[in-house]
Amino acid sequence: MKKIFVIFFAAVNFLPVVVYAVVPNQVDNFQDGTTQNWTSGSSNPIQPAVLSGGFAGSSDKFLRIVSNGSSGAGGKLVFFNMSQWSGNYISANIGNISMRVKNSGTSPLILRLAFNGTAGWFVSTNPINLPVDSAWKLISFPIHPANLTGTGDATSTLSAVTTMRILHNSTANFVGEPIIGQLDVDDITAVAVTDIGGENPGVIPKEYSIEQNYPNPFNPSTTIKFSLPKTTHVTLSIYNSIGQEAAKLISKDMNAGVYTTEWNATSFTSGVYYYRIVAGNFAEAKKLLLLK
């Protein structure tokens, strides 16, 4: 958690006022044993709780949010922060909010991110579906104005955020909807635009794609460029002419962005090869030619 302290002087005594400002790469990991200012509201009888046994092992702490599906307080899976996640996301150059999540309940969840600010509420247009499978996942919400819906100017709200909210809702609405749910959350992170990756940092693609390698033919190195519209697990491999895997270039979770990677084929013989990407439900292969 990042805080900027501004001291105002009164006529008689000092009045310290805490002004919060979101900064790139800030992380809420709950290792201090507190909820780090995350709450479900004072009227909600089911408050977020910090537990042990998260993604990194038995000593790793995480935040658990529970809802009971009723029509009253506690019925909706909604939690929010009005402290360190307030501030100017535009000037701070924040491009994504990533986090590790696990659906530890019995109902599939549809997660959205919402912001309140100068122009009112704006919420993620495209949600992240979280099935019931008790597996930790790395997810990421792009927060450019084009990725949010609301009434008015999203840029104005992102320039003066007062509340960041994470919620379940099947429609693009910031209020949430009743559900019997249980969500575990860890490592809530402000990802700077320059950390999103690739030649065009700050660009959030609209669809998956992979381009023809350059140069082609090549010797001994070539560059492959691909685009991810959302966080997903990416595998990028090289195959020889008979379909055998010759090299694995990437196998990991990656945030949304435009990326480039290089294949150095110094130890390979001349010939036709193929590179294939698998990202979520997207898969595509292209041919490349190594000439020595």
Q: Which residue in 282, 250, 256, 284 sits closest to 147, CA to CA?
A: 256
Cα 213 to Cα 215: distance, rounded to the nearest angstrom: 6
Residue 12 belongs to some domain of the structure: no
Q: What is the DSSP code (8-state) at residue 155?
A: H
Same domain, 221 and 161: no
Residue 276: Cβ-neighbour burial (10 angstroms; 0-12, 13-18, 19+):
middle
> Which pLDDT tens digit goes with each residue over 149-208?
999 899 999 999 999 999 999 999 999 999 999 999 999 999 876 544 444 444 567 789
Residue 239: Cβ-neighbour burial (10 angstroms; 0-12, 13-18, 19+):
middle
CA-CA-CA-CA torsion sign (159, 162, 164, 165): negative
The token pair that represents 193 in the structure block: 């635009």
The pTM assigned to this predicted structure is 0.65
Residue 3 belongs to some domain of the structure: no
| pLDDT the model gives residue 229 | 84
CA 284 to chain CA centroid, Å, is 24
Last residue of a domain, one of 172, 195, 218: 195
Residue 282 has pLDDT above 90, yes or no: yes
- Give me the CATH number covering residue 65: 2.60.120.260
Q: What is the mean pLDDT of residues 75-96?
A: 93
Same domain, 80 and 162: yes
Residue 17 belongs to some domain of the structure: no
| pLDDT the model gives residue 10 | 39
Residue 78 has pLDDT above 80, yes or no: yes
Same domain, 174 and 216: no
Last residue of a domain, one of 169, 195, 221: 195
Count Cα neighbours of 151 within 13 Å in the Cβ-side half-sphere: 3
The answer to whether the CB of 258 falls within 8 A of the CB of 199 is yes
Residue 203 belongs to some domain of the structure: no
| pLDDT the model gives residue 204 | 67
Residue 7 has pLDDT above 80, yes or no: no
* Full domain range(s) for residue 280: 209-290
Higher pLDDT, 245 or 13: 245
Cα 120 to Cα 24: distance, rounded to the nearest angstrom: 23
Same domain, 185 and 220: no
Cα 63 to Cα 60: distance, rounded to the nearest angstrom: 10
Same domain, 191 and 279: no
The answer to whether the CB of 233 falls within 8 A of the CB of 138 is no
Residue 15 belongs to some domain of the structure: no
For the chain, give percent helix, strand, coil, nearest 5. Answer: 5, 55, 45
Cα 122 to Cα 97: distance, rounded to the nearest angstrom: 15
Q: What is the mean pLDDT of residues 138-158?
A: 89
The token pair that represents 69 in the structure block: 């599906």
Provide the domain count of the chain.
2
Same domain, 168 and 243: no
Residue 45 has pLDDT above 90, yes or no: yes
> Which pLDDT tens digit goes with each residue over 240-278?
999 999 999 999 988 887 888 889 998 999 999 999 999
CA 71 to chain CA centroid, Å, is 30
